[in-house]
Structure formats: C-alpha cells, structure tokens
Structure 1
Amino acid sequence: MDLTQYVDQLRQELAVAAAAGGDEARALAERLTAPLESAARLTLLNALSAAADEITADLAPGSVDVRLRGIDPEFVVTPPPAAETFDAKAEYEALMAAQVPPPPPAAPDAADDGGTARINLRLPAHVKARVEEAASRDGLSVNAWLVRAVSGAVDGSDARSGPKSGRRDGWSPGNNFTGWVR
C-alpha cells in the first residue's frame, strides 16, 4: 500500500491552513513538511496496525498483519485453519469399529408397510451428545439408532442388544472380543 498520496494530501492541507496565516506562516509550513513526512507515515502505520488488530479479533483464529516492505506497508491475511484436524482418539475408535462387524439392522415389523414418517424430536444437548456416542459405538447413524431404540421401547425389548442372532454358540452382536491370544 503506497502511503505517498496520503502524506501528500496532508502536506497540501497544511499548506492551505498556513496560507491563511500569511507569507511567513506559509514559509514555516513548507520548512516543516519535510521533517513531518516521517512522523505522518509512522502515524498512518500505527492506524493501519490498530485496524489490522481489530480485524484479527473478528477473524480469529485467522489474522491480518501489517508488514513493511521498504517504506510501504503490506497486509498479510492468514485465513483460519481448516476445520478438519487430526483426532487420534476418533481415528482409533473408527479403526476399532471397522474391525467389529456392525450389528445387523433391526428386522422390519410384520405390520410395517415400508413407508416412513417424519417427526421433529427436541433433545437436551447433553442427551443428544449421549445419543450420538451410543450410535457411533453401535456403528449406526443417529437416525437408525433412534429407530432401534424407539422400536425396542415400544416392543418392550432391550433396544441396545439389537435383534437376536439365534446362533447356538451364544454369539450375538454385543459379544465381540478383539486382541491377541497365546
């Protein structure tokens, strides 16, 4: 950003103000404008830095910096980082969930005609967070987990256990073990 035009405008305004004081004031203003140029540039830089600080406060975690290139300031804008960050715990849980087969989906009711209905459900934030954790733990979407939970509550069965597999060896979706054996 070239500050010369702003410094020149300040010099012209000072000359106009000094002209009202006569020839002696005009001559004094002309002698003072050269030393005042650096002070004017410094004042403008301070104003630009303050403006950059205000913008940075609104842009956080991004930022705006003022840097000098010679005698001219330059703005450097750093955008906020991408929302996607590495979460080791989430990666580990995703890996573990991939190793355990998800429970089979609930069998449709005999009376189910295949149609769906939409409802709005309002949950307190802490309950919503627990539902999301439970759905993630069971390898289901929140909607599928809620459908299974409501079906289990209406039918009187344990919604968390999911449908029974009917296997003779006792295996069911909730009885998985992983690890090493010697």
Structure 2
Amino acid sequence: MNLTQYVDQLRQELAVAAEAGGDEARALAERLTAPLESAARLTLLNALSAAADEITIDLAPGSVDLRLRGLDPEFVVTPPPAAEAFDAQAEYAALMSAQSTPPPPPPAPEAPDDGGTARINLRLPANVKARVEEAANRDGLSVNAWLVRAVSGALDRPGGGPAATASREATRVGNGFTGWVR
C-alpha cells in the first residue's frame, strides 16, 4: 500500500487551507509540509495498525498482520480454517450413539509437580471465550480446569513442546519479522 498519495493529498489540503490566510500563512505551510510528512506517515501507520488489530479480533482464529517494507505497509491476511461440511447422517449417528451410552467422565487435570500454581491473564476474542465456556460446561468442568486440561494435552502430544513449536515457527516464517507495528 503506497502512503505517498495520502501524504500528498494532506499536503495539498494544507496548501488550500493556507491560501485563506494570505502570503505569510502560505509560506508557513510550505515550510511545515516537509517535516510533517514523516509525522503523517507514522499517524497513518498507527491507524492501519489499529484497524488490523480490530479486524484480527473479528477474524479470530484468523489474523491480519501489518508489515512494513521500506516506506510502504502491506497487509498479510491469514484466513481462519474452513469449517468442515455438515454431514447430517454422521451427525444423526453420533447423536444416537451418544444417547445410548453415557459419556466417560473427563480426566481430572494433573496436579502440578511442585504443588504450586501460577497465575496468568489470557485474553481471548469473545467468540472463542464463548466456545471455551460451552466446552467446559459440556465436559462438566470449570473454565480454568478445562483450559488446564487443554494446555496439558497440547503439551503432552508429540511435538507439542516449546522447542518443537519454535522450530516449526522458524521454518514457516523464515528470516522475516512477525508482530505488530505501533
């Protein structure tokens, strides 16, 4: 995305506004436009970053990243995974099977090795939080117990540790930088 056209438009609008103030205002506007260009670009980048953040919240689990290449920002959109097609017969068979046999009790979360607990704050998009609450209720667990079980299960899977995640991330990203521009 080329920001030059927007900065040039701002420069023209400032010149038009300065025309109403006479020669002194016009001269002042001409002296201010060069230093204001970098401030205008930074302000536009902040607005684009905020917009990408808001879109990411609505698009979760997909995301929108804003990357800066030279002077020009670009958006990188990662769409959410496609929903699986609805199979009415499979859904009916699963429902009938679930009604005939009671579900097994969910496994209790493992107690930490040292007996202590750690507190973290987790921010989830509202739609993900609602799904977590539904899943916890369905399993007869508190949200905290459900999250502990989910995280423990993810870490216990082969390749679920931090080292494996880091190597996959490095392979996927390459030599680029990821994150937000503010």
Give the structure-1-normalised TM-score. 0.47
Higher relative contact order (CA 8 A, sep 6+): 2
- Report which of the two structures shows the higher radius of gyration computed on alpha carbons: 1
TM superposition score normalised by structure 2: 0.47
Higher helix share: 2
